[in-house]
Amino acid sequence: MSETETVLAEVVKVRKAPVGGKLLALVDVVIVIHGIEFKVRGVRVSREIMDGNHATSVTSPLHRDIDGQWSPTVTFPEELHQPLMDIVLAACIEAGVCREA
């Protein structure tokens, strides 16, 4: 028998990026798992072109590795990844950073 745990996530801050680049915003999120609170800073909201169409992507914060390559700072399990990205995108739409498709 596997146990499940309710995970709560809330966007606490949307920081708009300067106009003109691919980066639209950096978003801070609080995640509560089993009563333990984690603050994830710098979830990235970017403008992308996918299949010739403009799109908005939401990705984990990044850091530069010792070899100079950019890598995700946090990797979320799939069960948490999509719901978290959805609430980040909704907060950015509400903040006027991007618009709904």
Is residue 101 situated within a structural domain? no
Q: The tokens of 100 are what?
A: 């709904």
Percent with pLDDT over 70 in the chain: 97
Is residue 72 situated within a structural domain? yes
The predicted pLDDT at position 49 comes to 80
Is residue 100 situated within a structural domain? no
Question: What is the count of structural domains for the chain?
Answer: 1
Is residue 81 situated within a structural domain? yes
Is residue 49 situated within a structural domain? yes
The predicted pLDDT at position 3 comes to 75
Domain range holding 31? 7-94
Cα angle, residue 71 at apex, residues 67 and 72 outer, rounded to 5°: 155
What are 91-101's pLDDT values in tens digits?
999 999 988 76
Name residue 58's beta-bridge partners.
45
Per-10-residue mean pLDDT of the chain, 101 residues long, equals 80 94 95 94 90 86 94 90 93 90 64
